[in-house]
Structure 1
Amino acid sequence: MRNPLPPVPGKLLELEVSDDLRRGTPLATLIAAPSEEDGDAGLAEIGGVRPTGKAGDVQTVPAGRVRWLAGVGDGEPKQYRKAGAALVRAVSSALEEDVKAGQKAFRAFAVELPEDAGAEHVEELAFGLLLGGYRFTVTAEEPKPSLRTVRLITRHKDATDALDRVRELAAAAAFARDLANTPSNVKTPAWLADTAARVAGGIPNLTVTARDEKWLAEQGFGGVLAVGGGSAAPPRLIELEYRPRGATTHLLLVGKGITFDTGGLSIKPADGMHLMRTDMAGGAVIIAAVRAIAALRLPVKVTGLVPAAENHVSGSSYRPGDIVRHYGGKTTEVGNTDAEGRMVLADALVYGIKKHKPDAVIDAATLTGAMKVSLGVRTGGVFATEDALAERVTKAGERVGEAWWRMPLLEDLAETVQGSLGDVRQAPGGPGGIVAALFLREFVGDVPWAHLDIAGPARADKSYADVVPGATGFAARTLVELVASYA
């Protein structure tokens, strides 16, 4: 019997660039919306269909050379991403319908771009095509016929070079989705570590080391051990090291790797607990981003750390009221066992800074529900100790289509995380996203640091742009682009 779990990482569509159309290949063409001056008269019928040109609107043409019309709105690059995602979903549906009707399955289609489409338009369209049709299904059924190749019909001379970068960025987002979507009865901390090591194999200058619970105990990783202590699946620290020759800048990336979160003794409500398989989305984007950084051979030294644990309920679970000693010696008063992400990140931050002495540190985590309330589900929160680093993150996100908003590290609240029985308090109350960031700041010292809270955009319950329901891979592309900015 075939393994019902899809391959991780999954395979993306192949994208080709050409200036001609192969005979028999189904064709889609991109249509801009008419200007206000032209109105509906600005668009002529194609095959009996009058296109709207609205961004993301895909229409099927019953007969003729063109089978699909995909609107790109006002023609801005970001509209091409929306069009590509909607188009690949429509074409995949058409493929399924053809197969059900007994027709021969087509595995490739072509997209004809307007003559004025530049490299940026090609990149955005490619993101939509590569990620808009993403699927992750655990089933024993035989795989259904699916698309394999998309040919972009364009004469733009830089289109092929533009796609090389996009492929790796899209692959990083898709891989992060795969990791976060994998069910937690499979995705133990050990599985996550083994998967990270496997995908790093063969990539030059990239190594992965997995530290087990014995090593964590010997080194004093009290936060990771406390959180993982209630589970039969022991914790791991996953350490990815990318060491290109000649690199002078060193960045440390740290991601929360809670492979399932019950909330521990401070147990979560049952209604949303099934979604907690994605509570390691921060760790997933670190693993995926470091792999992409190495594959792109960026000339920047990067270390990725993912403290991985399952926050479970048992007689060995850690408790509210416990005092936990972290790596490096600082102690934390536990107030809520469901605030476990900051506990494991604290260990990893101190360890990574002490061992590797990076030039800057960036962590990513689905850390607080408060951030979802503050910014919604399509924008990530950025906390940073330096303006320049915060701007680097937000600008990197803009370039790859991920939205970020800087949040304040309010000094008036800094004293609330100071402890009485221990050095710091884990869950002191107050504005949740801010106090969580202030808690983490206690463990980074003077190194430039940015904390990315992705609790909102890491998961989606409906499709938009290149996102589909489930894990989104949000922040993977931003991190790759951020590292590239140091090159």
Structure 2
Amino acid sequence: MRAPLPTPLVTVEVADTLRRGVPAVLVAFPGDPARVGPGAQDVVDPADVSGKAGATSRQGRSWVVGVGDGTAGDWRRAGASLVRALHADAERSGATTFDVRLPGDVAAQAVSAFTLGAAVGGYRFKVTAEEPPPRVKSLRLVTDVPGMADVVREANVLAAATSLGRDLANTPSNVKDPAWLAAAAVKAARGVPGLRVEVRDERWLAREGFGGVLAVGGGSVRPPRFIELTWPGTGDDQPHLVLVGKGITFDTGGISIKPADGMHLMRTDMSGGAAVIAAVVGIARQGLPVRVTGLVPAAENHVSGSAYRPGDVITHYGGTTTEVTNTDAEGRLVLADALAYAVRNLAPDCLVDVATLTGAMKVSLGLRTGGLFATDDDLAARVAASGARVGESWWRMPLPEDLAEDVRSDIADVRQCPPGPGGITAALFLKEFTGTVPWAHLDIAGPARADKVYDEVVPGATGFAARTLIALATTYTRPNTIG
């Protein structure tokens, strides 16, 4: 397979001087005429400059990019649009490095957003025998505002996490099975001081009683894995954040088989697990003073004589039993094992799971907003605020008590697919395995994939949620506080 991992990203750096002979990029704000920042004298045709966020134009050897009203979203869109335009120009023998002249009063939030957009906006994943085309390699942000090097460094960590999440999810499933995903997690963590990865196989899962993971993975000749990443933090008395990500490396739906249309997209059904792996690596790279454990139950949901069936009763880690009613609702079964394992063994202060769980959330919230369920108001507020800081949108959904009783089963402790609103009842099922730990469930079935370009997103896996998890860890102190 010729798709080098990790995918190379545009390098974004900070400097206080322009380089001789290197083409410049100027920023513009809307107006009549548009207002151009430092270097305005190099604009050849002012009529070709709108200042609208993401609008780009070539001006001789220089380029101009609009940053709109100057919000973080506008700057992120500008960085992404600029890099896409420069990539296209590089393919026509254009330059591959540029100096971006920033305004003297540029804010840290704007620089962070622009860096993120520029780094991942031109992301490209393609399995091909052809040599990759020329691409822009680096941008140098020219500013004398102090502290921007640290801002850019942190934004590059967010970009790398987004890209890693995309890489893992985009990899075709003839390559990516549970063992491959586990090996990729080990490789991603290699060289990050203090970060540990432990991979458990199907024998360990059977011995420990992970009935959900074993049932879902039982129809495939490629057995399941349980991936545990551990970042110990930087001290002894630190809160413990546990992240759990769904790692279904391909989902046929099992015996409750999916329609053929769209099944090819199920290579991205482990986007939640990818987000967790990418986030823990990013947290460790920054050396954040919080203890973090990432759990990824990984399995392939296939059809065969050994596949689990509707009507089966499975026993999860810890002993809770589940009546299976739909083998295509497999994600909640593997998450249940991992959540129970976390509660029983890891003593978390806070528990967050991430999954492409229900099509119902795509109907409810569309394709750009993640569903947020939580048992703790402060945790919900912290997740939403963390997403807003890094350009990921969340909408809190309810956990109504009147629907909770529907999770009970006549022949087991709980049933897998209670009647009612699908996204909510799935969350209520997972809640059964979280004990009294403050818990949030992030359903990313909509925003985990894209079919067109917008902002810093390109078609394919988006890497959604990885940045939110890093931002959550960055601000995390203790439960019931918002950093």
Report if the CA contact (8 A) 2:87-2:134 is conserved.
Answer: no
Deviation at 1:143, TM superposition (A): 2.5
The answer for the alignment partner of 1:21 in structure 2 is 18
SS at match of 1:314: coil
Deviation at 1:154, TM superposition (A): 1.5
What letter corresponds to residue 343 of structure 1 in structure 2?
Answer: L
SS at match of 1:15: strand
Deviates more, 1:278-287 or 1:117-126: 117-126
Residue 86 of structure 2: which of 91, 94, 109 is its match?
91
Residue 213 of structure 2: which of 221, 224, 229 is its match?
224
The answer for the alignment partner of 1:101 in structure 2 is none
SS at match of 1:218: helix
Deviation at 1:78, TM superposition (A): 2.0
Would you say how many aligned residue pairs link Structure 1 and Structure 2?
471
TM-score norm. by structure 1 comes to 0.94
Matched, 1:250 2:240: yes
The answer for the alignment partner of 1:452 in structure 2 is 442
Deviation at 1:423, TM superposition (A): 0.6
Matched, 1:78 2:73: yes
Deviation at 1:49, TM superposition (A): 4.3
Residue 53 of structure 2: which of 49, 55, 58 is its match?
55
The answer for the alignment partner of 1:4 in structure 2 is 2
SS at match of 1:343: helix
Report if the CA contact (8 A) 1:224-1:344 is conserved.
Answer: yes
The answer for the alignment partner of 1:420 in structure 2 is 410
The answer for the alignment partner of 2:107 in structure 1 is 118
Report if the CA contact (8 A) 2:450-2:457 is conserved.
Answer: yes
- CA–CA distance in structure 2, aligned partners of residues 482 and 281 of structure 1: 18
SS at match of 1:438: helix
Q: Deviations over 1:244-272 (max 9, x none)?
A: 24142111100000000010011111110
SS at match of 2:394: strand
- CA–CA distance in structure 2, aligned partners of residues 16 and 163 of structure 1: 7
Residue 175 of structure 1: which of 164, 177, 189 is its match?
164
The answer for the alignment partner of 1:184 in structure 2 is 173
Matched, 1:368 2:368: no
SS at match of 1:110: strand
Deviation at 1:205, TM superposition (A): 1.6
What letter corresponds to residue 20 of structure 2 in structure 1?
Answer: R
What letter corresponds to residue 131 of structure 2 in structure 1?
Answer: E
Matched, 1:199 2:188: yes
Report if the CA contact (8 A) 1:251-1:303 is conserved.
Answer: yes
Distance 1:41 1:399, change over 3 A: closer
- CA–CA distance in structure 2, aligned partners of residues 74 and 212 of structure 1: 52
- CA–CA distance in structure 2, aligned partners of residues 418 and 177 of structure 1: 37
Deviates more, 1:75-84 or 1:360-369: 75-84
Q: Deviations over 1:156-183 (max 9, x none)?
A: 1121111111111111111000000000
The answer for the alignment partner of 1:316 in structure 2 is 306
The answer for the alignment partner of 1:213 in structure 2 is 202
Matched, 1:336 2:326: yes
- CA–CA distance in structure 1, aligned partners of residues 402 and 321 of structure 2: 22
Report if the CA contact (8 A) 1:84-1:125 is conserved.
Answer: yes
The answer for the alignment partner of 2:135 in structure 1 is 146
Q: Deviations over 1:231-251 (max 9, x none)?
A: 111000001111124142111
What letter corresponds to residue 388 of structure 1 in structure 2?
Answer: D
| Structure 2 residues without counterparts, runs of 5 or longer | 478-483
| Structure 1 residues without counterparts, runs of 5 or longer | 99-104
Percent of aligned positions that are identical = 61
Q: Deviations over 1:403-429 (max 9, x none)?
A: 111100011100111000111010122
- CA–CA distance in structure 1, aligned partners of residues 217 and 190 of structure 2: 28
SS at match of 2:92: helix
- CA–CA distance in structure 1, aligned partners of residues 476 and 372 of structure 2: 18
SS at match of 1:97: coil
Deviation at 1:5, TM superposition (A): 2.8
Q: Deviations over 1:183-232 (max 9, x none)?
A: 00000000000110122122122110111001101111100000000011
The answer for the alignment partner of 1:274 in structure 2 is 264
Report if the CA contact (8 A) 1:209-1:240 is conserved.
Answer: yes
The answer for the alignment partner of 2:473 in structure 1 is 483
Deviation at 1:42, TM superposition (A): 6.2
Deviation at 1:146, TM superposition (A): 1.8
Report if the CA contact (8 A) 2:7-2:124 is conserved.
Answer: no
SS at match of 2:207: helix
Matched, 1:236 2:233: no
CA RMSD of aligned residues (A): 1.4
Report if the CA contact (8 A) 1:266-1:337 is conserved.
Answer: yes
The answer for the alignment partner of 2:462 in structure 1 is 472
What letter corresponds to residue 352 of structure 1 in structure 2?
Answer: A
Report if the CA contact (8 A) 1:6-1:137 is conserved.
Answer: no
- CA–CA distance in structure 1, aligned partners of residues 239 and 180 of structure 2: 31
- CA–CA distance in structure 1, aligned partners of residues 383 and 35 of structure 2: 41
Q: Deviations over 1:290-334 (max 9, x none)?
A: 011111000111111000000011111111111111111111010
Matched, 1:381 2:379: no
- CA–CA distance in structure 1, aligned partners of residues 404 and 329 of structure 2: 18
Report if the CA contact (8 A) 1:417-1:428 is conserved.
Answer: yes
The answer for the alignment partner of 1:102 in structure 2 is none
- CA–CA distance in structure 1, aligned partners of residues 418 and 81 of structure 2: 45
TM-score norm. by structure 2 comes to 0.95
Distance 1:41 1:324, change over 3 A: closer
Deviation at 1:40, TM superposition (A): 3.8
SS at match of 2:91: helix
Matched, 1:164 2:158: no
Q: Deviations over 1:4-43 (max 9, x none)?
A: 1322x22322212122221221221110001xxxx34867
Distance 1:238 1:22, change over 3 A: same
- CA–CA distance in structure 2, aligned partners of residues 88 and 168 of structure 1: 18
What letter corresponds to residue 463 of structure 1 in structure 2?
Answer: V
- CA–CA distance in structure 2, aligned partners of residues 328 and 192 of structure 1: 25
- CA–CA distance in structure 2, aligned partners of residues 118 and 245 of structure 1: 30
What letter corresponds to residue 27 of structure 2 in structure 1?
Answer: L
- CA–CA distance in structure 1, aligned partners of residues 337 and 180 of structure 2: 21
